[in-house]
A and B are shown apart, each in its own frame.
Chain A
Amino acid sequence: DTAVSQTPKYLVTQMGNDKSIKCEQNLGHDTMYWYKQDSKKFLKIMFSYNNKELIINETVPNRFSPKSPDKAHLNLHINSLELGDSAVYFCASSYGTSFDEQYFGPGTRLTVT
């Protein structure tokens, strides 16, 4: 009965590959987010979806494409992976768009070699 789950937990891949990370929440929330935490532990918002609609799209390379098939799922697809994409990617969810009471998933550690 995990609230926010992500798969996979670890992802090791080579430069140039395309990969996806999946996120699911069972909290009934209507807003989901993707964050990137780099090697210096700096956490930065990438995208946010509310009721399947993209509402936040930060300055992120267009190699990153989020997709929300329904309110409970938010996936992140990354094309042509680069070394600098290595980081921990966190999914989160909340009610509404005020960022109150966000619940974070366990994270996906992506390593690009």
Chain B
Amino acid sequence: QKEVEQNSGPLSVPEGAIASLNCTYSDRGSQSFFWYRQYSGKSPELIMFIYSNGDKEDGRFTAQLNKASQYVSLLIRDSQPSDSATYLCAVNSKNYGQNFVFGPGTRLSVLP
């Protein structure tokens, strides 16, 4: 069973729209959740992290966490072509001891 799952995409949205990226995880004991952005050929960059149920906003980005449903999402408002990248969900899972597991990533394409 995969620990962290994401739709691989590509997810295509028009410029100015809201992009919605989803992630589910299997370990109910997971405590912290992260979204990274990775441009092609570059290293991952942290966008934001969330610990508590609910929403956390940072500029155009909103992370949403629902621990009961084991679901975390990232909303990107007013999407720009420069947001086109792969978005990686990562979970700090307590399964088998402290561990940090990335999902496979969702490729986002923002069309001008």
Chain B, 74-112, contact with A by CB distance < 8 Å: what is the 0/1 string? 000000000000101010100000111110110000000
A66 near B: Cβ within 8 Å? no
- A42 to B4, alpha carbons, bound, how many Å? 11
B32 lies within 8 A of A43 (CB): no
Within 1-54 of B, Cβ neighbours of A (below 8 Å) are at 32, 34, 42-46, 49
Q: For A100, what are the chain B residues with a Cβ–Cβ distance below 8 Å?
A: 32, 49
Chain A, 13-40, contact with B by CB distance < 8 Å: what is the 0/1 string? 0000000000000000000000000001
Q: For B45, what are the chain A residues with a Cβ–Cβ distance below 8 Å?
A: 104
* Partner pick for B98 among A41, A44, A56, A90, CB 8 A cutoff: A56
* Contact A43 to B99, CB < 8 A, known contacts A100-B49, A101-B46, A107-B43: no
Interface of A, helix, strand, loop or mixed by DSSP: loop
Q: For A90, what are the chain B residues with a Cβ–Cβ distance below 8 Å?
A: 43-44
Given contacts A98-B32, A101-B46, A107-B42, 14 further A-B contacts (CB under 8 A): A40-B104, A41-B86, A41-B104, A41-B105, A43-B44, A45-B102, A55-B98, A56-B100, A58-B99, A90-B44, A98-B92, A99-B32, A99-B100, A100-B49
Binding site for A on B (CB under 8 A): 32, 34, 42-46, 49, 86, 88, 90, 92, 98-102, 104-105
5 A-B residue contacts at CB 8 Å? A41-B104, A43-B102, A56-B99, A99-B100, A104-B44
